[in-house]
Chains A and B, each alone.
Chain A
Amino acid sequence: MRHIISVLLENESGALSRVAGLFSARGYNIESLTVAPTEDASLSRMTIVTRGTDDIVEQIIKQLNKLIDVVKVSNLSESEQLERELSLIKLRAEGSEARAELKRLTDIFRGHVIDVTESTYIVELTGTGDKIDAFLKAVGRKFIIEVVRSGATGIGRGDRSLVL
């Protein structure tokens, strides 16, 4: 099953490689991993998307907690959470008909065209991974020049927060 795990860790050089090294050393799967400093500059927040049985995910959480640089870990998938991924998609936009259709699709998916040239659009699209997949499918391979995806970030809904 797919799990989203949030990690608060010391914002120190090497902390990221400890987490990445843990996953490769123990053969855990990483679908995506994002990390950035938090409003508290001494902490980074990481979101890891992984797949595994409940036993494996339990071990992942325990092993993450065991890393000295890790301050707190939460399996967001255990309850309601919001998940978003940012994507920047460069599209081949040549000819008025294609340009109009691509703009229409972008609107339907609540994306924004953020750069325009004579032959290209860049679309910014935020949503779950599924939504981005769906957009890419709708656009079709022949129009896609380049895709950049941030990987998922997540946050627990309501009162459930991962803070110090």
Chain B
Amino acid sequence: MNPVELSGGQIIVQFLKDEGIDFVFGYPGGAVLHIYDALYGQEGVKHILVRHEQAAAHAADGYARATGKPGVLLVTSGPGITNAVTGIATAFMDSIPMVILSGQVALPYIGSDAFQEVDAVGITRPCVKHNFLVKDVRDLAETLKKAFYIANTGRPGPVLVDIPKDTTDPKIKIPYVYPKSVEIRSYNPVVKGHPGQIRRAADLILSARRPMLYTGGGVVLSEASKELIEFTKILGYPITNTLMGLGSYPATDRQFVGMLGMHGTYEANMAMHECDVLIAIGARFDDRVTGKLALFCPTAKIVHIDIDPSSISKNVKVEVPIVGDVKDVLQELIKLLKNTDVVPNPEALAKWWNQIEQWRTKDCLSYDRTSALIKPQYVLEKVYEVTRGEAYVTSDVGQHQMWAAQFYKFDQPRRWINSGGLGTMGFGLPSAMGVQLAFPGSDVVCVTGEASIQMCIQELSTCLQYGLPIKIINLNNRYMGMVRQWQEFFYEGRYSMSYMDALPDFVKLAEAYGHVGMRIDNPGDVEAAVKEAFALKDRLVFMDFRTDQTENVYPMIQAGKGHHEMHLSSERELA
């Protein structure tokens, strides 16, 4: 049978179907009109029309984080792609698989400052894993395959394919065959860890007297949660997760000591500081995690498992590096642990756990439960209870993000969706759209604040169009809370531009967009309101909680301090 003849636009749509892509998030415009025409009337690839291209990227990103499949967006040239850049950079920083299809002016016009022309490949170069400019329709299918292959493999990341309008011309048709696989001679990501290094790691791990597991987003990306749990259970060691790794180990398990880092728990950070062997898995020693490098894990020998060689010894020198896929390496380590008679020193481990339990008694996440004002932590506890800890929770960036990370105890991976690396305000609502589309029957919660939500508020319109029953938890303290907190601590209370004046009436705003709005002012009304909102299974509910304006996120390690130099609260200063 001869292959079908398709135009460039049709090739893109057919390729996406062949690649198994369900959703494309996008916004039409001149340079992509041929592609939109090919999308018209077909079934298989569902196009979700956002209201701003940044949201297309975040929605595709949320979809990818929740499903593990690549997120796909389709935007036009010029402002279409520049608007998407924030979302692309967000995905890049958190290693999220994503393919961006951007329209470009026709090849003869490139470089002529044509209408809606920007150098998309140039602009996105520093914030994509790779990018391509398609110069011939005959290269289109293979380039798309390369893009998906690169985005999905190794350390995942966004890949952009810039598509000049004339390469999608409906008048030019060429034979199309789906390229099942593709070879790139310069790209061969390592999967298997080095067996000698894995043995060295196992020896060091078993020799520990004060061990600590520190695991990150790489465990989620590698789908290695099951292996991580088995590994941790065999050893009986304490484990902490980074902000990106939450859920990869069940937060309700006794061995879990909470998140670490700037707003991590006292017990997690103290255990980091005191440990003698640190096992870092799929984590990258980010500055928000390590604090001051000179004071980081001063007595520890470090094992580091990561798929990206450039992550190893970038910020912190390690004794035993293992380059490989986390899942694969953990499976090998588990095999070694099961086949050895060596066990960790039981007395030392018991002593270590005693110490950790002592740190735990500080109850570092406690807050004032008697306040007449709504405490944001309390709202999140209620959301956790009502959703039985099973919701997908997206967040924006700031105080609410940290409280969500601290108070929603994630027991499963891919349930906690936040912009960890780039810290992008505006991420929460659009990413929740991607998650809700992927899991229409599940509770999807967007935890946000009155500042962040306004950065992509227009997506309430998209939510109505597609009937997405997201529950928005707006922790409204009338401040950019995290900015205010830093200004209180480090700028003697000079609250420069951190006050959100002239706020909209969020209830009316939600209603104007066709949704349900609720305003909650009193702590006594929180629980009932949350229950009522989550009972509205097919409606988006915007819950505007008027919270205590001066509540701060604790514990806190100031930037440039060590893990042992934590502030537990305004009353309980140095721990």
Contacts and interface: CB of A to CB of B under 8 A. Distances in A.
Contacts of A68: 129-130, 150, 184, 186-187
B310 interface: yes
Interface stretch (B13-21, B119-127, B380-388): B119-127
Given A14-B121, A17-B125, A66 B314 contact: no
B129 A71 contact: no
Given A59-B310, A59-B314, A62-B310, A69 B126 contact: no
B313 to A, nearest CB: 7
Nearest to B154: A66
Contacts of B171: none
Interface size class of B (residues with CB under 8 A): 10 to 19
Main secondary structure of the interface of A (DSSP, over half): helix
Contacts of A21: 125-126
Nearest to B128: A68
A66 B126 contact: no
Interface size class of A (residues with CB under 8 A): 20 to 34
Contact of B310 (A66, A69, A70): A66
A70 B185 CA distance: 9
Nearest to B125: A21
Interface string B96-137: 000000000000000000000000011001100110010000
B310 A71 contact: no
Given A59-B310, A63-B310, A70 B126 contact: no
A14 B128 CA distance: 14
Nearest to A18: B125
B122 A17 contact: yes
Contact of A69 (B122, B133, B186, B309): B186
Contact of A71 (B121, B185, B308): B185
A70 B186 contact: yes
A55 B442 CA distance: 47
A65 interface: yes
Interface string A1-33: 000000001100110011001000100000000
15 contacts: A13-B133, A14-B121, A14-B133, A17-B125, A21-B125, A21-B126, A25-B126, A59-B310, A59-B314, A62-B309, A65-B310, A68-B130, A68-B150, A71-B186, A164-B185
For the complex of A and B, 8 pairs with smallest distance between CB atoms? A62-B310, A68-B130, A71-B186, A62-B309, A25-B126, A68-B187, A63-B310, A66-B310
Interface of B: 121-122, 125-126, 129-130, 133, 150, 184-187, 308-310, 313-314
